[in-house]
A and B are shown apart, each in its own frame.
Chain A
Amino acid sequence: MDLSRRDTMTLAAAAGAATLFAPNVARAALPKLVVVGGGTGGATVARTVAAAGGVDVTLVERNPVYMTCYFSNLYLGDHWDYDRLAHNYETMKARDGVKMAMGNAASVGDGRVVMSDGTEIAYDRAVVAPGIDFKYDMYEGFDEHVAETMVPHAYKSGNQLLMLKQQLMAMREGGTVVIAAPPNPYRCPPGPYERASMMANWLSRNNPTAKVLILDPKTKHSKQGLFVEGWNRLYPGMVEWVGGEFTGGDFLAVDAQARSVTTADEEVFEADVLNFIPAQTAGRIAIDSGLTGDGDWASVDPATLESTLVPGVHVLGDACANGDMPKSGFSANSQAKACAQAVLAAMTDRRAFPPRFRNTCWSLVGDDYGIKVGASYKAGDGKIEKTEGFISQVGEDDATHAQTAAEGIGWYEAMTGEIFG
């Protein structure tokens, strides 16, 4: 088309007129996406869809500040300030037009999110990303109150993380920290072992005769050979791991006063600081909305992350049954991008492409000593399937460990910057 200057002027005027009058009409017609949960997965979906445009996006979240759980172990080791884990929603609100609905969501379904105070938010499509909840009922003497006041699980960032650090710092000389690790599947598979590393790192400087004992219901754990190598090299004799052969594969009870834990074999382990990390489920709202069916996690379509039980509702991140992927911030971010494409394809005229997922779990074992494991994934038959993976090797040199540690921090800054920055 050959446009004369005059035609161009006319078009420009028409476009100007359209922007003057269109917004109210267009906004009224925009399809509504409601995202419940402003963690890494939910925030990624909200921002990605809002930035693409054509969809009215509301993010429901109870806290104005999000503290990442990943990298929180670095705070225990004095490697990071607590504030460095904090992120907020101001940029996605201001720059991308994500609407924030501050409050606690109780259930999702039938085109509306019902809040705890009874108000409702209507949606055309919803994303539920509530993270994890805990199976307190499995253990005698352990509940949310005990976790909040005496025996922290500290498996969500926040007050319990601060309490655990205070307990570590106040521990008697030569005392024992017991970390009771959770059974599979759970958030952040290397998390308990990185935590042991970071506690040993702090203790080696401040309380060098102390011990860190990991009690595990599992007979093996993530990056085991790599962690054991690091512990023996950096903290000889300080970190001990006792696996499922010796715990009976489960825990029965916690005594908060005595700071002791009883294994399935009825052996009692006493601690000076007890970090009890219970078995986990999808976040409460996923269970209450019927998204988990009879199981602990929400079953989803591997390409779109849409619930197989409740149409029009997507579940992603730690709360979904994510096939071969581990539950991690990186996984949630990767799933959220695939979910955002699927949501945009369903709600606008955009096309969705077959998703590729990625994950890497970096763990800091000591000063400038990082290890990692990661993989690529695709949407397979009924689940997310691993295509290829990589892992740090035993016997790597100091330069490689330092490079891996720096790479992990680089990933954290880049990803949180992309979502919240």
Chain B
Amino acid sequence: MAKIKPRVKVPKSAEVGEVVTIKTLISHPMESGQRKDKKTGEMIPRNIVNTFSVTFNGEPVFEAAVEPAVSANPYFEFQMRVPEAGELAFKWVADDGEVYEISKTIKIA
């Protein structure tokens, strides 16, 4: 299985107080835990991204508790006000223990 790579879209710079849109996408199968393997009849264990969280300079700005009904490759988009220059840190946590992280800096224009 190839490596899962999350993607984020963050403006490189903003003005102080500007509201910017942040877009994120992770390619993840989001196995619900409610499907059977047709060949063996065994249940396929649940493996979803269960938490997605974002901090800006260490302060939480967005968090989502994700449930099995969310379809594959979850896409999140949110807006935030930029108070200062800083770093956005994105984190996806999956049931199988994998943690996917990426960070982006925003400069003040």
Binds A, one of B49-57, B69-77, B81-89, B101-109: B69-77
Alpha-carbon gap, A241 to B38, bound state (A): 27
Stretch among A164-172, A225-233, A355-363 lining the B interface:
A225-233
State the CA gap A391–B14 with chains docked (Å). Answer: 44
Q: Which residue from B1, B25, B72, B77 sits with its C-beta under 8 Å from A242?
A: B25
Q: How far is the CA of A237 from the CA of B29 in the complex (A)?
A: 8
Contact B71 A245 (CB under 8 A): no
Does the CB pair A228–B2 fall under 8 Å? no
A242 to chain B, nearest CB (A): 6
Q: Is the CB of A211 within 8 A of B9?
A: no
Residue interface bits B39-51, CB-to-A below 8 A is 1, else 0: 0000000000000
Q: Mark A219-251, 1 if CB is under 8 A from B, else 0.
A: 000000100110010001110111101100000
Chain A residues near B79: list those with CB within 8 A. none
Evaluate contact between B72 and A229: CB separation under 8 angstroms. yes
Taking the closest CB of chain A, its distance from the CB of B78, in whole angstroms, is 13
Complex Cα–Cα for A253 and B71 (A): 33
**Contacting residue for A236 out of B29, B71, B77, CB 8 A:** B29
Q: Please provide the chain A residues from 296 to 312 with a CB less than 8 Å away from any CB of chain B in the complex.
A: none
Tell whether, in the assembled complex, residue B38 and residue A242 are in contact, meaning their CB atoms are under 8 Å apart: no
Distance between Cα atoms of A211 and B2 in the complex (Å): 7
| B1 touching A237, Cβ below 8 Å | yes
Query: Using Cβ atoms and an 8 Å threshold, which residues of chain A touch B73?
Result: 228, 241
In which size bucket is the chain B interface? 10 to 19
In Å, the complex CA distance between A246 and B23 comes to: 8
**Nearest-neighbor residue (CB-CB) of A240 within chain B:** B27
Contact indicator A246/B71 (Cβ below 8 Å): no
Nearest A residue (CB) for B73? A228
How far is A242 from B27 in the complex, measured between Cα atoms in Å?
9
Interface string of A77-104 (1 = CB under 8 A from B): 0000000000000000000000000000
Bound CA span A369–B57, Å: 48
Cβ-defined contact, B9 with A265, below 8 A: yes
Assess A246 versus B1: contact at CB under 8 Å? Given A225-B71, A232-B72.
no
Chain B CB within 10 Å — which of A225, A246, A397 has the most?
A246
Minimum CB–CB distance for B18 against chain A, Å: 18
Asked if B65 is an interface residue, CB under 8 A from chain A, the answer is: no
Report Cα–Cα, A237/B2, bound state, in Å: 5
Docked-complex contact B9 and A245, CB < 8 angstroms: yes
Tell yes or no: A398 within 8 A of B by CB: yes
A403 at the binding interface (Cβ < 8 Å): no
Report Cα–Cα, A228/B77, bound state, in Å: 20
Complex CA gap A225/B3 in Å reads: 22
B20 to chain A, nearest CB (A): 14
Within 8 Å CB of B4, what residues of A?
237
Instruction: Offer 24 A-B interface pairs, CB within 8 angstroms, sorted by A.
Output: A209-B2, A228-B72, A228-B73, A236-B1, A237-B1, A237-B2, A237-B3, A237-B4, A237-B27, A237-B29, A238-B1, A238-B2, A240-B5, A240-B27, A242-B25, A243-B25, A243-B75, A245-B9, A245-B23, A245-B25, A245-B75, A246-B7, A246-B25, A398-B38
Q: Residues on B close to A: CB < 8 A?
A: 1-5, 7, 9, 23, 25, 27, 29, 38, 71-73, 75, 77
Q: What residues of chain A have their CB less than 8 Å away from a CB belonging to chain B?
A: 209-211, 225, 228-229, 232, 236-238, 240-243, 245-246, 265, 397-398
**Given A265-B9, A397-B38: 18 more A-B contacts, CB < 8 Å:** A209-B2, A211-B2, A225-B71, A228-B73, A232-B29, A232-B72, A237-B1, A238-B2, A240-B27, A242-B7, A243-B25, A245-B9, A245-B23, A245-B75, A245-B77, A246-B7, A246-B23, A246-B25
